[in-house]
Amino acid sequence: MKIAISGASGLIGSELISFLSRDKHEVLRLVRKRQTGPGEICWDPLNGQLDKNALEGVDAVVHLAGENIASGRWTSAKKRRIRESRIRGTLLLAQSLSHLFEPPKVLVSVSAIGFYGNRGEEAINEESSPGTGFLPELCREWEDATATAAMRGIRIVIPRIGMVLSASGGALPLMLRVFRMGLGGRIGSGAQYMSWVAIEDLVGIIHHAITCESLQGPVNAVSPNPVTNQAFTKVLARILARPSIFPLPAFAARIALGEMADEALLAGAKVNPAKLIKSKYKFQFPDLENALRHILKKPGTIKN
């Protein structure tokens, strides 16, 4: 298959390209530079520029690009950049694909479980209503921006991604530094649910979204076994043979991160990947301890 990918240099994009290349797919990267090389397509989402002719004949498009939500405080300027990078980029890509003579069969455009907001112990699936706040509103607009591609008859799959576990990036390396110093612990009460996914499974889910023709619309891209923040920290501490007795109080998180603390660290949702299970996707790492032991290369008893 010929597959175009935006956000190709990021954590998910890099892993996805390695996976697709091993599987002998042809990969085209959407890049923000004027001089493009082999396998590259020029685009500038903020200025509405895309060499759409280069997308003629691609079989699938995977849209991953967007400003990092978790880096830095959510100032007004930061929130504007987060929103514009996602909404403008998705609109440009969807509209461009809709005007192709030979559009792709599928557009996989990622979103996030932030769509659901802070839901406590409520069991969440893809039919659950959105939450309230910056992240849910962002995710609704982000997902709605694919509408023009859907009207062209392109199958749309929207993976709502949870916390991605990888040694190469995301939240885990920062957590590892804290825990290895013996300073780890729960965040706030620790009762908030963390819906997580191993990077290998996330790549597998995206590939499944491309190839499974019955899959469409929002898809929760998370493990079937979410855990509370407190449970997560205990498992991580046990694997690292370090204590988990130094909690980060809610007030300290709010002082450090402001609004982001309430929506990203102190909030949680118990998300179920109902559509993936129904579509027969087989998780490589459904269990948190197995996933972390694999990522951290820490042998131990495997619980099946």
CATH number at residue 143: 3.40.50.720
Q: Judge whether 77 lies within some domain.
A: yes
CA distance 91 to 130: 21
Distances (CA, A) of 81 to 31, 74, 76, 234, 253: 18, 10, 9, 35, 23
Neighbours of 44 (CB within 10 A): 16
pLDDT in tens, the chain (304 residues): 999 999 999 999 999 999 999 989 999 999 987 767 889 999 999 899 998 899 999 999 999 998 888 777 889 999 999 999 999 999 999 999 999 999 999 999 999 999 999 999 999 999 999 999 999 999 999 999 999 999 999 999 999 999 999 999 988 998 999 999 998 999 999 999 999 999 999 999 999 999 999 999 999 999 999 999 999 999 999 999 999 888 888 878 887 778 878 887 888 999 999 999 999 999 999 999 999 999 999 887 554 4
Q: Judge whether 304 lies within some domain.
A: no
3-state secondary structure of 13: helix
Q: Judge whether 189 lies within some domain.
A: yes
Cβ neighbours of residue 246 under 8 Å, at least 6 residues apart?
Answer: 182, 183, 184, 185
* Domain of residue 95, residue span: 2-296
Residue 184: CA count within 13 A, CB half-sphere: 27
CA distance 217 to 251: 38
Q: How many helices (H) and strands (E) does the chain have?
A: 11, 15
Torsion region of 190: left, alpha or beta (phi above 0 gives left; psi -120 to 50 gives alpha): left
CA distance 27 to 50: 17
Asked if 107 and 55 count as a contact pair (C-beta separation under 8 A), the reply is no
Q: Judge whether 106 lies within some domain.
A: yes
Q: Judge whether 303 lies within some domain.
A: no
Neighbours of 160 (CB within 10 A): 24
Q: Judge whether 216 lies within some domain.
A: yes
Q: Judge whether 284 lies within some domain.
A: yes
Q: How many independent structural domains does the chain possess?
A: 1
Q: Judge whether 135 lies within some domain.
A: yes
